[in-house]
Amino acid sequence: MRATGSRRLLLIRLLVAALVPLGSLAMALPAWAGSALSAWRINREGALELRTSPNSSAQAFFEEGRGGVGPRVWVDLPGAPQRTRTIPGSGVVRQVRVGRPNASTTRLVVEFQPGTRLDPRGLKLLGTSRDRWRMDFGAVAAGLAPLGEGDLEAPSAPSWRATVPERAVLPSGPVPSAASLPDVPRGRYKVVIDPGHGGPDPGAVGIGGLRETDVVLDVSLQVAQLLQAKGIQVLLTRTSEVDVDLPPRVALANNSRSDAFLSIHANALSMARPDVNGIETFYFESARSRNLAQAVQEQMLAISPGSPDRGARPGRFFVIRRTVMPAALAEMGFVTGQLDSPRLADPAFRRRMAVAIATGILNYFLQNP
């Protein structure tokens, strides 16, 4: 999602893909201590590259320049560096700073010269493997000079995997079918289902390389089929691994005059926090949106015993804030969670989740005719 104001969240978490080796530009590695950041560089192609601990989370931000200060891009990673420092830049890069905004975070800041123009719409931090990241700076790349710290070419370390309990992980019993869903008047309702992320944006990547985009597309397609079987007209914002920006998703929904909109996602936190699990659903302001979120939240919890109830609560995500019909955004569990992740990876559980979400939508229509 995107933040408001001059700061825009440009987070795209780890994408598992082959890394194309580049000539090393690294200097001697400073002491990073407990930081997830192991090395960084601005390469000859004008892109920022990072090497991190395997399966680390990362957040990237952009801030426009003002008051004689150039624009900045920064990346926050888990773990604090042993020392902070400023590295002089060259060309359009004024300087690079390694900071410690709090006791558990490393912040790498690339500050550009005043007057440099960056297009935040093209700035994406992409995971190119489980411990490598890349951000292309676009049109300003020609003015960038090589700069960096650490060994970007070091071999990848073994990935961390959570210890998953052998018992009581996956719900048992028969998988429900479309026949078990409640009935609503056929042909009366229209729904937009929005599978989050897609294409080069995998969303969150969790335990064992479980990708959010794979989970949500599978569940969303099944939800659509289940609703169609009940006489609901369904529109999907995507049906394959393609990148769809947020405004087109909203435009499709608003132009369709749908009766409800549901965006489907999977949550994530640091890979160092497998203890964090849970299901939550967001809505924006209206009573009908709240009712939709509550109906879906109730059903998702019912098929995921032991997963914490994080509630149906207000949120300001773009796709639910800009849609004109009742809208909600469902987070089916944490791909980084020790309890949730193996469930979300299981096809039978995904089917249960699809039935649950479809049931929640149908219950909403029954309760809000």
| Residues identified as active-site | 331
Beta-carbon-side half-sphere exposure of residue 207 (alpha carbons within 13 Å):
26
Q: Are the C-beta atoms of 265 and 198 separated by less than 8 Å? A: no
Helical pair 347-367 and 212-229, crossing angle rounded to 10 deg:
50
For residue 286, give the nearest of 320, 262, 317, 331 by alpha carbon. Answer: 320
CA distance 271 to 201: 19
Residue 158 burial class via C-beta count within 10 angstroms: exposed 0-12, middle 13-18, buried 19 and up: exposed
Closest CA relative to residue 360, chosen from 255, 279, 249 = 279
76 touches 106 (CB < 8 A): yes
What is the torsion angle, in degrees rounded to the nearest 10, for the CA atoms of residue 234, residue 235, residue 239 and residue 244?
-150
The owner of tokens 């009908």 is 288
Joined together, the tokens standing for residue 295 give: 């109906």
Quick one: tokens of 110? 């690339």
Helices (H) and strands (E) in the chain, counts: 6, 17
